[in-house]
Amino acid sequence: GAVVSQHPSRVICKSGTSVKIECRSLDFQATTMFWYRQFPKKSLMLMATSNEGSKATYEQGVEKDKFLINHASLTLSTLTVTSAHPEDSSFYICSAQEDPANEQFFGPGTRLTVL
Amino acid sequence: AQSVAQPEDQVNVAEGNPLTVKCTYSVSGNPYLFWYVQYPNRGLQFLLKYITGDNLVKGSYGFEAEFNKSQTSFHLKKPSALVSDSALYFCAVDAGANNLFFGTGTRLTVIP
């Protein structure tokens, strides 16, 4: 149980295009989903927290207009990187939580490369 | 402010020997502490967590961790390392509001 999937696992795009990453909880309903970004040889940095049906809460320094998060249902959250640039290249990981008392379950991550 | 420190970027250990991956934390209040493992090109996998109770927590794949409040540490341990344990290990703390703060990770290499 507690499986979280991400799609795509890997994406390469041209600078200026937008990329959508999906995060799904496959066997539970996630009231809260989190989006992290992992830089090479560095830790994961929380980008935003999203609750189903409400606007995401972004961490300081994260541009909400650039990283659009939609948590439309209890099993799906999407992260759209708008007008991507090479510096947005990174490994993006989502996690999902059924309720605050439970731990977060992580997706397998999405490797974004912006040319 | 909460923070997590993993002082070692790299830990090498011979197969069959005990291993320790260090983690210290700084947080106000009672923390929830976690260990995750990340294999190449994979997401994070949950190993174990400390919420309350017994300071020695047992988790997946034979790993355990000891919560030491006086030293604010939560070191990950395993009595006998396997080559397949080679991976990147992250310590994390949830200081409330379900926000996880991660350490910078420690790469464990188990030498055959």
Could you report the per-residue pLDDT of A7-39, keeping only the tens digit for each?
Answer: 999 999 999 999 999 999 998 898 889 999 987
What was the pLDDT predicted at B28? 80
Mean pLDDT of the region A52-56:
86
CA distance A17 to chain B (A): 24
Confidence at residue A101, expressed as pLDDT on a 0 to 100 scale: 63
Cα A38 to Cα A50, B38, B56, B76: the distances in Å are 18, 12, 29, 22
Check pLDDT > 70 for residue A58: yes
State pLDDT tens for residues B14-44.
Answer: 999 999 999 999 888 788 899 999 887 667 8
Residue A103 to residue B104, Cβ atoms within 8 A: no
Cβ–Cβ < 8 Å for B95, B72: no
The whole-number pLDDT of residue A39 equals: 75
State the average pLDDT over residues B63-83.
96
Q: Is A92 on the interface with B (CB under 8 A)?
A: no
The pLDDT-based confidence of B81 (bands split at 50, 70, 90) is: very high
Residue B105 vs residue A104, higher pLDDT: B105
